[in-house]
Amino acid sequence: MTLTGLQLSKKILLETKVPMNPDEMWAYALEKGYDRETSVRGKTPARTLGAQIYTNIQNHEDSDFVKVSVHPQKFGLRSIDYGSAPLPTKEQKADPKASDKLLERELHPFLVAFINSDSHFHSHTRTIYHENSSKSTKNAEKWMHPDLVSVRFPFDDLSDQSITLAKNAGIDTIVIFSFEMKREINGGNVRECYFQAVSNSSWANEGYLVAPKITTEALEQLGRLNSSFGIGVIRLDVEDVHQSEILLPSRDNDLDIGMINDLSSINPDFADFITTINDSMQVGHFVKGKYDPVLGDDQLKKRCRGV
């Protein structure tokens, strides 16, 4: 019998009887040869295991799995006593998740903090306000405008000589990211959400669809769509942004200058974002622009609680 990701994870946790993170689970699977018994495939199988466990916990209050620790993130089984605080039972209702209380735009500061700190991005982000666009055709904005855009400059990573050489060689030294934010991605809206991100984020070097809540059914479809269209997927953890994850990587793209020109011509926020990038590149160092502020953990926690 071919094991699903959840079945494989449960098998491993039952055998080891210790909490493990997804990387440890997959390493154990390779050691035991269980990788040949599972349907989990791809470049990042450990991330797949982690995403499936997380969504199972999120969607089922009586899930077999529990999050045992946050730093580092480790999962265990509800049926095993790990000698810690009592685990919640089916009858104990959890408080409503913070992400359920927040509107889409209220999620932006959490993503900004993750993008700023995560080593893959480490970039400066700006919200694009659709209502500022000169085009107001009904529903047109959501298919043209991303919710947030971000840029990573080379100044912290490359020497001046290397930057000059890259310019002379015609090599891009900046990376521009585009993000489409949703509160929840489920089986009913997954295709609309994904193709909206394809429409408004494929112009960037990397484009992503982001949500704090992604169901298991949606994740399976997202994996297939990602293989075909290349838009990445991020699970945003509003209770601890540093635990947010890139579940599916974005395909690397060349910038679509025509699309960038179209967006700049109709939206002043986006035009100013591009102008600020050009200003920084011309002077060879970071120029402060109208980027979204990066909030600290304490500030984000207050927003989580509605304080």
Looking at residue 130, its pLDDT comes to 85
Lowest mean pLDDT among 24-28, 71-75, 185-189: 71-75
Helix axes 216-229, 190-201, angle to 10 degrees: 30
Residues 6+ away with beta carbon under 8 Å from 58: 97, 213
pLDDT > 50? residue 95? no
Confidence of residue 157 (pLDDT cuts 50, 70, 90): low
Average pLDDT over residues 132-141: 62
DSSP designation for 169: T
The whole-angstrom separation of Cα 29 and Cα 9 is 9
Average pLDDT over residues 191-210: 95
Helix axes 45-59, 22-32, angle to 10 degrees: 120
Confidence of residue 134 (pLDDT cuts 50, 70, 90): confident
Residue matched to tokens 């060349």: 254
* Residues shown for the chain: 307
- Per-residue tokens: 74: 């480790």
Q: Which residue has the higher pLDDT, 100 or 102?
A: 102
- Dihedral angle over CA of 181, 183, 185, 188, nearest 10: -120
Positive or negative, the CA dihedral 103, 70, 226, 115 is positive
Helices (H), 78-158: 98-101, 108-117, 140-144
The listed range with the strongest mean pLDDT (35-44, 65-74, 137-146, 197-206) is 197-206
The whole-angstrom separation of Cα 280 and Cα 210 is 28
pLDDT > 90? residue 149? yes
Q: Which residue has the higher pLDDT, 293 or 138?
A: 293
Specify whether the CB–CB gap between 151 and 177 falls below 8 A. Answer: yes
- Name the residue ranges covered by the structural domains of the chain: 5-77, 100-298
In this predicted model, what pLDDT tens digit does every residue of 55-64 receive, in sequence order?
788 778 889 9
Q: Which residue has the higher pLDDT, 154 or 307?
A: 154
In this predicted model, what pLDDT tens digit does every residue of 230-288 receive, in sequence order?
999 999 999 888 889 899 999 999 999 999 999 999 999 999 999 999 998 888 778 88
Average pLDDT over residues 204-227: 93
Average pLDDT over residues 149-170: 70
pLDDT > 90? residue 135? no
Nearest to 20 by CA among 55, 40, 49, 58: 49
Q: Which residue has the higher pLDDT, 277 or 154?
A: 277
- Per-residue tokens: 185: 């991605």
Chain-wide mean pLDDT for the chain? 84
pTM above 0.75, yes or no: no
Nearest to 294 by CA among 241, 232, 244: 241
Helix (H) or strand (E) holding 179: strand 175-181
Looking at residue 307, its pLDDT comes to 40
